[in-house]
Amino acid sequence: MIMNKTIIEKWANIVTPFYYYDIDLLKQTVETAKKEADKRGYILHYATKANASPKILKIIFAAGFGADCVSGNEILRSVECGADPAHITFAGVGKTDTEISIGLDNDIFTFNCESIPEMENINRIAETKGKIANVSIRINPDVDARTHEYISTGKKENKFGISAWDFEKVIEKLKALRNLKLISLHFHVGSQITDMSVFAEACSRMNSFNQWFKEQGFELEHINVGGGLGIDYQTPDKNPVPDFAAYFAIFEQNLKLYQGQKLHFEPGRSIVAQCGSLISRVLYVKEGKTKDFVIVDAGMSDLIRPALYHAHHHIENLSSYGVERIYDVVGPICESSDCFDKDVPLAETKRGDFIALRSAGAYGEVMASQYNLRAIPGAVFSDEIFTD
């Protein structure tokens, strides 16, 4: 992202904090992912929960992505923003009857099922509508994603997916549930995965599951390996676009697909994280005994990732180019966890400076809350402020 004086001048009258999205970078990322997937015949479903801004969704769906949704409202929003329902997957351990109906009424591609009781419920609702629901089994492959525990989803102790020891029961059930059609196996082992051997390991589990289902007479048309590709939070300008070619190559090398089986992905973070920054202004610089605090007007209600996952966001002072000093950068909210980072080197900082929290495009704006009765942050798009 080009963070320079020209941009700051454009921001002068905008109320902070706000999310700033670099639309050129978003488009470049979307196009790279799509091109690398097309080369290999892979199908992409964007995980809407990472960033559900209509403007961003429209760009992603216009490029030919399907959607991966985790609520009924995400299905509705995705369809409104141009996603083809025939390319929508619906995941989540707790789908309500209303949400299942939304999926069925929109004739979505598949429900990623996470338990036998859920399958029974989808079957029941599909029957009342006289429909056959396509379903996938979300497998819990018992793979350690080696990421933060709150974003690990594929270990046997996690609530997600169905474990291998239940597969026989699932197959028995499926034979009795006449309004379900099993079309695919699915896994999603976690998020912000940077160790590619995690995906290789998950592929090897999938190979044995795929073979087992085939032996039981289920020749499935689709395999879905979820999302999870990590991004570079430390040095976003060095790696603005994730290495999709290297990521897809892991699956090319490790996943054994049967003749005609199609491979699906559900990337979220890797598509939208780097194009967004949370922009705030410095309210006060408070001198401490051992170090100084930069108190900004953005807080954990605007970007909860540092407080929730101990996530790191690269922080920059966009208004100052002086000698660097070390600061703790904190928000105004009445919680000690409302701290964006400690011991941050920033150019000499003063009241009114613009501070950017980088790589905030994924799981940022969508998680904003009104805690402390604060306003929800606004969104500013690069192509709308540079109209010339």
Ligand X SMILES: *Cc1c(COP(=O)(O)O)cnc(C)c1O
Binding-site size for ligand X (CB under 6 A) equals: 17
How many other CB atoms sit within 10 Å of the CB of residue 259? 5
- Packing angle of the helix pair 23-40, 244-254 (nearest 10 deg): 20
Alpha helix ranges (H) inside 188-276: 197-215, 244-254, 269-272
- Regarding 302 and contact with ligand X (CB under 6 A), the answer is no
In the complex with ligand X, the residue whose CB is nearer, 73 or 216, is 73
In the complex with ligand X, the residue whose CB is nearer, 228 or 299, is 228
**Burial (Cβ within 10 Å: 0-12, 13-18, ≥19) of residue 387:** exposed
Cβ 125 to ligand X shortest distance, Å: 21
300 beta partners: none
- Regarding 226 and contact with ligand X (CB under 6 A), the answer is yes
Residues 20-49 that bind ligand X (CB under 6 A): 47, 49
CA distances from 115 to 108, 122, 174, 206, 382 (A): 19, 11, 12, 18, 43
Listed residue (273, 274, 313, 310) closest to 296, CA to CA: 313
- Regarding 188 and contact with ligand X (CB under 6 A), the answer is yes
CA distance 253 to 198: 14
**Which one among 17, 267, 306, 361 touches ligand X, defined by CB under 6 A?**
267
**Which one among 103, 141, 242, 268 touches ligand X, defined by CB under 6 A?**
268
Residues 76-105 that bind ligand X (CB under 6 A): 91
CA distance 7 to 16: 14
Stretch of 36-44, 78-86, 267-275, 307-315 lying at the interface with ligand X (CB under 6 A): 267-275
- Packing angle of the helix pair 23-40, 54-62 (nearest 10 deg): 30
**Burial (Cβ within 10 Å: 0-12, 13-18, ≥19) of residue 68:** buried
- Regarding 228 and contact with ligand X (CB under 6 A), the answer is yes
Site string for ligand X, 127-156 (x = CB under 6 A): ------------------------------
Residue 92, sorted as left (phi over 0), alpha (psi -120 to 50) or beta, turns out to be left
- Regarding 72 and contact with ligand X (CB under 6 A), the answer is no
In the complex with ligand X, the residue whose CB is nearer, 8 or 245, is 245
In the complex with ligand X, the residue whose CB is nearer, 147 or 277, is 147
CA distances from 19 to 193, 346, 365 (A): 24, 20, 7
Q: What is the gyration radius of the CA atoms in the chain, in angstroms?
A: 22
- Regarding 68 and contact with ligand X (CB under 6 A), the answer is yes
Cβ 386 to ligand X shortest distance, Å: 28
Listed residue (355, 351, 349) closest to 314, CA to CA: 355
Stretch of 19-27, 164-172, 221-229, 280-288 lying at the interface with ligand X (CB under 6 A): 221-229
- Regarding 364 and contact with ligand X (CB under 6 A), the answer is no
In the complex with ligand X, the residue whose CB is nearer, 358 or 374, is 358
Cβ 160 to ligand X shortest distance, Å: 8
Stretch of 16-24, 71-79, 201-209, 265-273 lying at the interface with ligand X (CB under 6 A): 265-273
Binding residues for ligand X, rule: CB under 6 A, are 47, 49-50, 68, 70, 91, 188, 191, 226-229, 266-270
